[in-house]
């Protein structure tokens, strides 16, 4: 199955949304079983300000569906979401 990188940028001043939704987001990652790597981006102050999630799913439509149903997305955390096919080399 192909890999997809989901690259998300938080809305300005949205850290509290991220913190309030974090447990649901982590449960979604665990329950869906398709995440291969994931973690937050950090700003210059060390605060979470976005996400990188690598998922393994059947196709782009499945990646788009996964991203749209992430609790962070449903809570309105993101200003921008990009989905790119990705190939692991190292």
- Per-residue pLDDT tens digits for 25-37: 999 999 999 999 9
DSSP state of 59: S
Cα separation of 83 and 67, whole Å? 8
> What is the rounded CA–CA span in Å between residue 60 and residue 54?
13
Domains identified in the chain and CATH numbers: 3-86 (3.30.70.1060)
List, for residues 44-61, the tens digit of each pLDDT value: 999 999 999 999 999 999
- pLDDT the model gives residue 56: 98
State pTM to two decimals.
Answer: 0.94
What percentage of the chain has pLDDT greater than the value 90?
99
Distance CA 56, CA 36 (A): 7
Tell me the pLDDT band of 65, cut-offs 50, 70 and 90: very high
């Amino acid at each position: 199955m192909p890999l997809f990188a989901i690259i998300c940028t938080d809305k300005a001043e949205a850290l509290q949304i991220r913190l309030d939704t974090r447990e649901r987001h982590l449960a979604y990652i665990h329950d869906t079983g398709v995440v291969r790597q994931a973690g937050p981006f950090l700003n210059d102050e060390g605060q979470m300000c976005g996400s990188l999630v690598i998922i393994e799913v059947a196709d782009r439509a499945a990646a788009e569906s996964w991203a749209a149903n992430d609790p962070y997305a449903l809570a309105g955390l993101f200003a921008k979401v990009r989905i790119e096919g990705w190939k692991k080399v190292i």
